[in-house]
Amino acid sequence: MNQNNSILKGSLATIILKLLAERERMYGYEITQKVKQITNEEMQITEGALYPALHKLEAEGLVTTETEIVEGRARKYYSLTKEGKTEAASRIEELISSLKHLQNILNPQFSI
């Protein structure tokens, strides 16, 4: 498996917000697995990055949590607050815009 996480740098919080925006709720481990799956096992969110990021989003009031015991293990579900939904939309838009710019730099002949 490729350890190619470079592009995730700085965009982890937005990725989390995007995943949460598409679902009612998700728990941390689920997020790591989802990113692995979407990227064909080529990208991986490390737990040392994920959990602090989730806690920061919670501190910012963008997500709320509810803990449940499922099959004997504790799961902490995260979901977007009202403010989180607004902020998610805004950050996603910004990231897409930045992505387009980056593509322009990398592939000047093919983009936009």
Partner DNA sequence: TTCTATACCTCCAAATCTTAGGTATTATTT
Partner DNA sequence: AAATAATACCTAAGATTTGGAGGTATAGAA
Chain residues in the site for a copy of itself (CB under 8 A)? 4-11, 14-15, 18-19, 22, 35, 38-39, 42-43, 92, 94-99, 101-108
For helices 28-38 and 12-21, give the axis angle rounded to 10 degrees: 100
CA atoms within 13 A on the CB side of 100: 6
**Nearest distance, CB of residue 3 and DNA, angstroms:** 6
21 touches, from DNA, a copy of itself, none (C-beta below 5 to 8 Å by class): none
Determine the interface stretch with DNA among 24-32, 87-95, 99-107 (rule: CB under 7 A): 24-32
Nearest-Å Rg of the Cα atoms of the chain is 15
Report how far apart the first and last C-alpha atoms of the chain are (Å, whole number). 32
Determine the interface stretch with DNA among 17-25, 53-61, 83-91, 99-107 (rule: CB under 7 A): 53-61
